[in-house]
């Protein structure tokens, strides 16, 4: 007797030919880590929810006039297991895993699915090492600046990822910020040479940010980090700390398009902080579609 088995869930539900490791030009790495969450929890369930929802996303992208993923191929890697050690240990563990994967497959785009935002300092460090980047730049879509030196007893908190990379010598560009503390505001003022922030109301006001963003990313090696709470909670309420007046769908896509079109290299990307709400599948579907659109823009280069 023969038996039929459901295929393993992979991003976008691609068939074997389009998702084979050997030929796919995009790797998706789930990191379902949740260790420093300070308000709403559930980000450890984010990667699986995104992958599951992505199987319902139409592959045909009208902007490009084709099924983009069928051309470049996406292979979904096994989820990176979380350690039970300190947040610092986990960040270093992620850095080494990302470095290993990006070094092993230097011609493939590595896109990481979180998990909480604390993973991003490890992801960024691993990518920069693997691609030998001397002066890396992170473009961060987020509701929060994540520039605290430490939060709730650890400098490797989800509230400190941009600060850790800034201290490493990275340049940081942030868009969509609408929640900030005094320490972070003082740092933004003092470090304007390496740190540029567009608050959400500035993005809403007009498109003047686009010219400067183009100039700042031009020719640079960029790590793109998307905290899903950058978008307005009317679109994606399923996140740990939703903030009102966030980016619209079109604003987020315009930022992503500007970055991908003008950067020298996109060395990798991540999307974090989805905390699925049972019975409310819109958030994970919209997140999956945003990731697919982002990958399409990167691969169109």
Q: Is the pLDDT of residue 34 over 90?
A: no
The Cα–Cα gap between 190 and 177 comes to: 17
pLDDT tens for each residue of 168-195 = 999 999 999 999 999 999 999 999 889 9
Residue 81, pLDDT above cutoff 80: yes
Q: What is the pLDDT of residue 102?
A: 98
Average pLDDT, the chain: 93
Would the pLDDT of 217 be above 70?
A: yes
Measured distance CA(194)–CA(172) in Å, rounded = 6
pLDDT above 90: residue 301: no
The per-residue DSSP string of 110-178 comes to: EEEEESSTTHHHHHHHHHHHHTT-SS-EEEEE-SB----S-BTTBTTSTTSHHHHHHHTT-EEEEEEE-
Average pLDDT over residues 77-105: 91
Identify the structural domains of the chain with CATH numbers, from first to last. Answer: 11-299 (3.40.800.10)
Tell me what pLDDT residue 82 has. Answer: 82
What is the structure's pLDDT at 4?
54
What integer is the mean pLDDT of 31-58?
88
* Residue 7, pLDDT score: 57
């Amino acid at each position: 007797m023969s038996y039929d088995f459901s295929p393993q869930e992979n991003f976008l539900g691609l068939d074997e030919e389009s998702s084979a490791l050997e030929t796919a030009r995009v790797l998706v790495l789930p990191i379902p880590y949740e260790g420093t969450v300070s308000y709403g929890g559930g980000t450890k369930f984010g990667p699986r929810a995104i992958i599951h929802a992505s199987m319902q996303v139409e592959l045909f992208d009208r902007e490009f006039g084709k099924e983009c993923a069928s051309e470049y191929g996406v292979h979904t890697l096994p989820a990176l297991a979380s350690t039970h050690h300190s947040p610092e240990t986990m960040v270093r563990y992620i850095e080494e895993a990302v470095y290993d994967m990006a070094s092993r497959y230097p011609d493939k785009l590595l896109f990481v699915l979180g998990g909480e935002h604390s993973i991003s300092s490890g992801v960024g460090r691993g990518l920069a090492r693997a691609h030998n980047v001397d002066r890396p730049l992170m473009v961060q879509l987020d509701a929060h600046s994540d520039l605290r030196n430490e939060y709730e007893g650890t400098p490797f908190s989800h509230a400190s990822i941009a600060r850790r990379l800034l201290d490493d010598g990275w340049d940081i560009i942030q868009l969509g910020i609408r929640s900030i503390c005094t320490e972070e505001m003082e740092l933004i003022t003092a470090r304007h040479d390496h740190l540029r922030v567009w608050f959400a109301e500035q993005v809403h006001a007009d498109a003047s940010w686009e010219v400067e963003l183009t100039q700042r990313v031009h020719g640079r090696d960029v790590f793109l980090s998307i905290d899903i709470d950058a978008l307005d909670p009317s679109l994606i309420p399923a996140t740990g700390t939703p903030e009102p007046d966030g980016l619209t769908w079109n604003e987020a896509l315009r930022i992503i398009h500007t970055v991908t079109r003008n950067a020298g290299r996109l060395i990798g990307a991540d999307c974090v902080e989805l905390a699925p709400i049972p019975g409310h599948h819109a958030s994970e579907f919209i997140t999956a579609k945003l990731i697919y659109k982002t990958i399409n823009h990167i691969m169109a280069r």
